[in-house]
Amino acid sequence: MNLTTVTIQKPEAVNFILGQSHFIKTVEDLHEALVTAVPGLRFGLAFCESSGPALVRWSGTDAEMIDLARQNALALAAGHCFIVFLRDAFPINVLPAIRQVPEVCGIYCATANQVEVILAETNQGRGILGVVDGVRSKGIEGDAEIAQRKAFLRTIGYKQ
């Protein structure tokens, strides 16, 4: 077995979701869940098929996000993983809908951070072991940082 990492390639402000699924039907079901959750959503998604022709299957509503999804999925090439890139949207708005898709087994991350995906490669194929999402923690927040966090959440409308 060989361990390797793949860095997700994307513009800094773009959010994405990386998950695990179990069936080719995932592509259409995720597409339907996303457009239902946020009408007008601009996104791209790709799914790594892990049997038969083993193709990267894809869908979406935004050409640039679709291209990011296809390129990153092919770089991962890990069976039954999926990746969704969001334009001007946040994972918090679509994660509940994604989790409700019957084929979805789990979510590795949902972030705009730089992410390294840790992969194991065997003679059979590749699998995702986990992710490194962002940077290492630098300390513990104090009173000033707590106040900043609370103010930020209220400024962007997630808390009252």
Share the mean pLDDT of the chain: 96
Band (pLDDT 50/70/90 cuts) for residue 148 is very high
* CA–CA dist 57, 31 (Å, integer): 12
Q: Is the dihedral of CA 149, 150, 156, 157 positive or negative?
A: positive
Strands (DSSP E) contained in the chain are 2-7, 15-20, 42-48, 56-60, 81-87, 106-111, 115-121, 126-133
Q: Is the dihedral of CA 122, 125, 129, 130 positive or negative?
A: positive
37-46 confidence digits (pLDDT tens): 999 999 999 9
Assess whether pLDDT exceeds 90 at residue 118: yes
Instruction: Return all residues near 138 (Cβ < 8 A) that are at least 6 apart.
Output: none
Q: Is 23 helix (H, G, I), strand (E, B) or coil?
A: coil
Q: Determine the pLDDT at residue 23.
A: 87
Pairing of strands 15-20, 2-7: unpaired
What domains, with CATH codes, occur in the chain? 2-155 (3.40.1520.10)
Give this prediction's pTM. 0.93
